[in-house]
Amino acid sequence: MKRFLLSKLLPLIGFLLLWQISSLFFNQLILPSPLAVFGKILVIMKSLTFYSALLVTLLRALGGLIIALSLGIFIGFAMHFSKAVSALMHPVIITLQSLPIISWLLLALIWFDSSVIPVFIVAVSTIPIIILNVYEGLKEVSGEYLELVTFYKLDFRRCLQGLYLPSIATYIISAYKIIIGLCIKTSVMAEVIARVKQGIGTEMNLAWINIDTAEVLAYTVLIVFFTFATERLLTFIFSGTLRNYQ
C-alpha cells in the first residue's frame, strides 16, 4: 500500500497540481483546470448517450479485432506452412506496418460507409501484429514436440489443439494489452475523422466543434480509464485460460 502511494498516487497528485497551476496562466479554452475536466467527466457519466456511444465504440473495436484475429491467424498459419506464402506476405506485412493510418483512413472514406470505417481501420492496424505473433508463435513450437507428432503419427487436429494453438496463445496473450489499447484508440480516431453518427469519437468531435476543451479532455480521460477497465475485465475473464498457457 505504501509502495502504491509512493509509486502511483504521488506522481499523479504532482501531475494534477502542475496542471492546476499551469491552467491558472491560460484561458479556460486553451487549458481548462483539472477540476473543470473532472466536473465534465461527472456530467458525461450521468448521461445515457455516453454509455451507448461507449458500447458502439467498443463493439467497433471488437469487430475489427475479430476480423484481424481470424484473418491474421489464417495468414500466419499459411505463412508458416508455405514458403511461397511467407515470401509473398513478408513485404506485404512490412508495407502494412509502415503505411500511415491516415492513408488507410482517406482510402476508407472513399471506399466504405462511415460507420464501418472504424472497424476497417482497427482491423488493418492490428492485423500485422497478429500475423507476426502467430508466425513467431508457430516458429517457437519446438522440434522436440514435432518429433512426438511424427513418431506417433498424430493427426493435424490434435497437433493444432495440443501444440500450435497453445503456442500461438502464449504469444498473442503476451501482446494483448498493447492490442486492446491500440484497438480502442484507433477506433475512436477513425470515428472522429469519418464523422460517424454514433460513438465516443462522435461525442469528442462535437465537443471539439463547440470548442469545449474541458469536454475533449474529459473524454480523453474516460477513454484511458475504459481501456484500462476493458483490459482488467478481459484479464479477469481469461485468467483461467491465461494460466493454462503459461
Partner 1 sequence: MIRISNLTKSFGAHTVLKSLNLHIGFGTTVLLGPSGSGKTTLLRLIAGLDKNYQGEIDSEKMRMSIVFQEDRLLPWKTLRHNIEFILPRDKVNQERINHITESLKIQALLDSKPFKLSGGQKRRCAIARGFIYPSDIVLMDEPFSSLDLYLKLKIIADINILLEKEKRNLLLVTHDITEALLLADEIIIFKQTPVTEFQTLKLDLPKNERMLQSSVFTEWERRIYEYLLSDKES
Binding positions for partner 1, rule: CB under 8 A: 144-145, 147-148, 150-152, 154, 158, 162-163, 166, 170, 244-246
Q: Which is nearer to partner 1, 25 or 152 (CB)?
A: 152
Q: How far is the CB of 233 from partner 1 (least distance, A)?
A: 24
Residue 93 C-alpha cell reads as 506485412
C-alpha–C-alpha distance, residues 209 and 211, integer Å? 5
Q: Which is nearer to partner 1, 147 or 239 (CB)?
A: 147
C-alpha–C-alpha distance, residues 199 and 121, integer Å? 15
Q: Which is nearer to partner 1, 7 or 150 (CB)?
A: 150
What does DSSP assign to residue 199? Answer: S
Q: How far from 9 is each of 4, 93, 182, 224, 239, CA to CA, in Å? A: 7, 41, 25, 17, 27
Q: How far is the CB of 146 from partner 1 (least distance, A)?
A: 10
Q: How far is the CB of 169 from partner 1 (least distance, A)?
A: 8
Burial class (CB in 10 A: 0-12, 13-18, 19+), 214: buried
Q: Which is nearer to partner 1, 103 or 150 (CB)?
A: 150
Q: Which is nearer to partner 1, 167 or 227 (CB)?
A: 167
C-alpha–C-alpha distance, residues 107 and 117, integer Å? 10
Contacts of 229 (CB under 8 A, 6+ apart): none
What does DSSP assign to residue 161? Answer: I
What is Dmax (Cα atoms) for the chain?
A: 74
Q: Which is nearer to partner 1, 7 or 246 (CB)?
A: 246
Q: Which is nearer to partner 1, 116 or 175 (CB)?
A: 175
Residue 188 C-alpha cell reads as 475512436
| Cβ(184)–Cβ(227) below 8 Å | yes
Q: How far is the CB of 66 from partner 1 (least distance, A)?
A: 24
Place of cell 502504491: 4
